[in-house]
Structure 1
Amino acid sequence: MKHVKALAIKFVSSLVLLSLILNLLFDMAFSNIFLITLVLGVAAYLIGDLMILPRTNNMVSTIADFDLALLIIWFMSKNLKFGDNYFSISLIAALGVALFEYMFHKYVANNVVPNKGGQQQTRPLQYQTEASEVLTPVRQDVRSSNEDYKKPE
């Protein structure tokens, strides 16, 4: 139920935001805005809010949502509407979506995503490689100073 509530908040807020930006500034039809909001809302919720946010911090997830919004809005507006500068439309709309997502991530982190130990993981994952001393095998015929060793003929 928490996910349905979060998706509804995200959808309505994004629909209002994108309607203000895309309809008032760029005269896009409401049906196109509704379709863009639907695709963007589901994709950003699954990728940005449920996959990236629990594993990283708010800023990384917001940047990922900005990139995703820019790509989805640009691609869909280019295919749904003709004759405008699609990149500037997409950039302005993606900036608005990113500002909203920054605040929405705080809600998701506190109310939707299960916290481990009562705290959200605020640092990124840390990967580490194993290092050791020399791993190259010593071959007797190359590095040996042993005089008893005979070289093969």
Structure 2
Amino acid sequence: MEATRQLLADRPAPTRVVVLTTFDEDELVTAALRAGASGFLLKDLPRHRLVESVLAVHAGELQLSTSVTRRLVDRQLGRQPSPARLAAFGRLTAREVEVLALVARGATNGEICAELHLSESTVKTHVGRLLEKLAVRDRVQLVIAGYDLGVVD
């Protein structure tokens, strides 16, 4: 954190710092952001996401690892999804996350078909996999999971 403070002190040009670490602790995130870091990324980040994040920080954006963001938002909102549900969320495909968001917003299978340009059987397959992966028994619980995981607000 001291290096971050020194790098950012008295610089005429805008300097940005990204912290890349294996330590996923809230106190370190807070300290890094207070020291002026523009990013806090975990070393397990896929290479392409690391490059995207560095470019985004260079463009002036703030970048946090997904797990860090989710934890900070959950703490702020007073919700804490179970560790099992968080682990399951990490195994969802991008398409499953899209379907979950639409289910959580109350969309029917037909509406999901139209929105994502999928067949009804494909939507049913995605919903079934979501039920299984998130260990819930019905669409109502999927909606709750969607809110708990921050897929919808």
Same fold (TM over 0.5): no
Q: TM-score, length-normalised on structure 1?
A: 0.27
Q: Which has the higher strand share?
A: 2
Q: Which has the higher helix share?
A: 1
Higher relative contact order (CA 8 A, sep 6+): 1
